[in-house]
Chains A and B, each alone.
Chain A
Amino acid sequence: MSIKLVGDSWRALGREAGGADSFDLALRLTLLLLLLGPVGSWNVRAAVLLLVGLGLVFQALSRQPVLWFALALLTGWRVISDWPLADNHAYLLSYWCFAVACALLARDPRRVLETHGRVLIGVVFLLAAVQKGLLSPDYADGRFFRHTLSVDERFENFAVLAGGVDKQTIERNRRYLDSEPHEEKTGAGEAAFVEPLRLRVLVHLLTWGTLVFEGLLAAAFLWPRRDWLWRQRHRLLILFCLTTYAVATVAGFGRLLVAMGLAQCGGETHETRWAYLVAYALILIYEESPWLAALAGAG
């Protein structure tokens, strides 16, 4: 009896998710990410949560441009009041709320929101690729990931698992890299930066793999012809979200990209919609569960 109930529930979920309007799903997932990661100071947060709650409870309200203009203003105010400290996805969230509001004012909201989602994602990844490949002075030669894998605690467990380095070595490298820059003598002293071969290989893979992947995403989303590359954009974005946010736990960015990708699934298969929803759920799990730490500890 209980197995049948689970099976019935699963089939009902499958029908609901697969048949759901991707436009409405994208709006609801955006509201959900605002609920899961409230933004701003207490007054902004309260106003955002109120609007988000109303939008989730009353579906008709979620299709009103005034709700989304209000969310765009509030999320935009958060960015302005935090200037220059806000992370990049805080800006993208505000742009996306503004895009939804603009789409709801258009004659064909679905088509307009699809265009917004596609172009915004494409331009974001284009900027990211240009920053890494052309403008940054310390990305292409590997210095960024050599530094980050030792200094950024979010990457520590990944460095242990994939880079073959132990936590003591990471700690020693962190002390070496963190010396005060304004002193005549750096704190590095006689110490050296320790890099096993596997870590060096990982650095090269991450450096060039990330650059190529982001460049491909930019190309796929901005490609003007609806040919093979254009058709790969959902697969590439979902793969990017599943791999990147397993390690770099900037979950808000990942969930936002999923919502923006889902908004473009009007003509896509149920499987594509499902894949986005699974990616959204997995990013939540990545954020909340210490799975990497458990694997690194067990290894």
Chain B
Amino acid sequence: MPLSDAAGGGATRTRFHEYVTVAAPVVLLLTVALGHFVLVRTEHLSRWKGAGFGMFSTADGGSSRCLHVSALTAEGRRAELKIPTELYDVERRARELPTAGRLEEFARAMIKARGVAADGAVRVEVWRTEFDPVTMRPHGELLRVVEVGAR
């Protein structure tokens, strides 16, 4: 190969390398941020999480969300279930990003932890508190519900 072609090829590779070293961190930030926006819209991800830099932009997050868990019997009775401490971490993750998969995983963990009857089911509701713009009166908005049978 003529020396000039080798030198030209080397300079192109160096320029490409420089572009990558300059662009890579910002491309990474923007890619993850794009994922945040998609998940906020489709899966109710809290704006405080997921690297969209929406912290301190909304009251929706943390203690403004809660999971309400109840056991359902075959006869249609419903009883509230307390979340055991060993599931607090799972519950917190499900609260911030309440995908159907996460809630189902949490419901199955609750079935196992609370010994729900084989013909029963567990219902998991994710609620978000919203506040009246004038009076700040809180009211709940149901974000997602899943029911998982114990069998």
Q: Is A147 touching B131 in the complex (CB atoms < 8 A)? A: yes
Q: Is B55 touching A102 in the complex (CB atoms < 8 A)? A: no
Bound-complex Cα distance A108 to B133 (A): 52
Q: Which of B20, B68, B97, B130 contacts A138 (CB 8 A)?
A: B130
Bound-complex Cα distance A98 to B20 (A): 12
Stretch among A28-36, A82-90, A157-165, A225-233 lining the B interface: A82-90
Residues of B contacting A176 with CB < 8 Å? 136, 138
A144 close to B (CB within 8 Å):
yes
Residues of A contacting B52 with CB < 8 Å? 88, 127, 131
Q: Is A84 touching B58 in the complex (CB atoms < 8 A)? A: no
Residues of A contacting B136 with CB < 8 Å? 143, 146-147, 176-177, 193
Residues of A contacting B22 with CB < 8 Å? 102, 106, 112, 115-116
Give A107-146 interface residues, CB cut-off 8 Å to B: 107, 112, 115-116, 119-120, 123-124, 127-128, 131-132, 135-139, 141, 143-144, 146
Q: Which of A85, A119, A146, A179 contacts B49 (CB 8 A)?
A: A85
Residues of B contacting A212 with CB < 8 Å? none
B21 close to A (CB within 8 Å):
yes
Report the minimal beta-carbon distance from B124 to chain A, rounded to whole angstroms: 11
Proximity string of chain A (60-83) to chain B, C-beta cutoff 8 Å, 1 when within and 0 when not? 000000000000000000010001
Report the minimal beta-carbon distance from A185 to chain B, rounded to whole angstroms: 10
Report the minimal beta-carbon distance from A3 to chain B, rounded to whole angstroms: 45
Bound-complex Cα distance A83 to B135 (A): 35
Residues of A contacting B17 with CB < 8 Å? 105
Given contacts A99-B25, A112-B21, A120-B26, contact A127 B66 (CB under 8 A): no
Report the minimal beta-carbon distance from B67 to chain A, rounded to whole angstroms: 9
Residues of B contacting A105 with CB < 8 Å? 17, 21
A178 close to B (CB within 8 Å):
yes
Closest to A126 in B: B53
Bound-complex Cα distance A131 to B50 (A): 13
Bound-complex Cα distance A269 to B136 (A): 48
B60 close to A (CB within 8 Å):
yes
Q: Is A181 touching B131 in the complex (CB atoms < 8 A)? A: no
Closest to B94 in A: A84
Residues of B contacting A192 with CB < 8 Å? 135
Closest to B133 in A: A141
Residues of A contacting B63 with CB < 8 Å? 151, 178
Stretch among B28-36, B71-79, B105-113, B114-122 lining the A interface: B28-36
Proximity string of chain B (128-151) to chain A, C-beta cutoff 8 Å, 1 when within and 0 when not? 111101011111111000000000
Residues of A contacting B129 with CB < 8 Å? 177, 179, 181
A259 close to B (CB within 8 Å):
no
Interface centre among B48, B49, B97, B125 (most CB of A within 10 A): B49
Given contacts A85-B92, A176-B136, contact A131 B25 (CB under 8 A): no
Q: Is A181 touching B140 in the complex (CB atoms < 8 A)? A: yes
Pull 10 A–B residue pairs with CB atoms less than 8 Å apart, ordered by A. Answer: A92-B29, A102-B25, A116-B25, A132-B56, A139-B57, A143-B59, A177-B136, A180-B140, A188-B137, A248-B56
- Report, nearest first, the 5 A-B pairs whose CB atoms are least far apart: A181-B140, A131-B54, A91-B51, A99-B25, A127-B53
Residues of A within 8 A of B (CB): 79, 83-88, 91-92, 95-96, 98-99, 102-103, 105-107, 112, 115-116, 119-120, 123-124, 127-128, 131-132, 135-139, 141, 143-144, 146-148, 151, 176-183, 186, 188, 192-193, 210, 248
